[in-house]
A and B are shown apart, each in its own frame.
Chain A
């Protein structure tokens, strides 16, 4: 498969009541970078994509009856996005907090060797950021967490 930056192999689409405000906020809070903004003749956003490293997030509107912002359905959300950082997760969290993110879980070391924090954006989407601070084997994290890890169902 050719390396094609404009059409990544995977993208998460995240729906907002006000996607233009979300584009600005996600840049300020999480350092995501806009790279494609498509508008309709009336100026409304048709489609947009933001990059973070080689990850892509699409920011869109509530474009039909079944596509809703958490702000429209009592804070419920059907998917979340996990973002992997290689360094400075605490600084990333501080930046998000300053931009108005609600930090639901402060940065903390997890039993599986990551340091993670969880933030809620202004419309209620949940974002989890993590940085690997200690490489662990499956045996090690199963022992630490009381879980059973396999690679097949």
Chain B
């Protein structure tokens, strides 16, 4: 049961009402690049992946199937009054403030402006047009666990 030794060992798939528009927007706003686009005979997105630096993400349309999913349904936050059940965090090597400005210029709603965090990262949080939450972080400094605890008043362990 060895996990695949690859940066893509775990990958998120993000669901949209309009996945083709989402692919275009994610390219423009965040600089992701579509690297696999599988369409069906109607020209609809069957499966798509994007590269975000060394990371791969899946982008798909809403779907449900009692046979393949049981009672679950995969939907956009736009169909859930903006609610989401998962979100994505992506690390940037540099340029986080410029990344945020690029996203804002593309129409992203910045819900947390870039700011330095107690754990040594600078982060910002953004909503895409269908309401998915994206967290971007850029490491600025190495902070020891003890120092993080001191700064935040939190307790940090390696298991429950």
Contacts and interface: CB of A to CB of B under 8 A. Distances in A.
Interface of A: 1, 4, 7-15, 20, 23-24, 31, 34-41, 46, 52-58, 65-70, 73, 75-88, 91-92, 95, 102, 104-105, 118, 120, 124-126, 128, 142, 145-153
Contact of A152 (B10, B13, B34, B89): B34
A148 B41 CA distance: 8
Given A24-B160, A80-B86, A149-B36, 17 more contacts: A9-B90, A13-B86, A14-B86, A41-B154, A54-B6, A66-B82, A66-B84, A69-B85, A73-B80, A76-B74, A78-B132, A82-B58, A92-B1, A95-B1, A126-B74, A149-B37, A151-B36
A148 B88 CA distance: 28
Contacts of B105: none
Contact of B9 (A24, A54, A104): A54
A80 B83 contact: no
A50 to B, nearest CB: 10
Contacts of B72: 70, 75-77, 104, 120, 124, 126
A41 B154 CA distance: 6
A52 B4 CA distance: 9
A145 B11 CA distance: 22
Contact of A151 (B13, B24, B34, B52): B34
Contact of B38 (A92, A118, A147): A147
Contacts of B90: 9-10
Interface in B122-146: 131-133, 135, 137, 139
Contact of B37 (A65, A67, A151): A151
Given A75-B71, A77-B86, A79-B87, A36 B36 contact: no
B75 A78 contact: yes
Contact of B11 (A70, A82, A126): A82
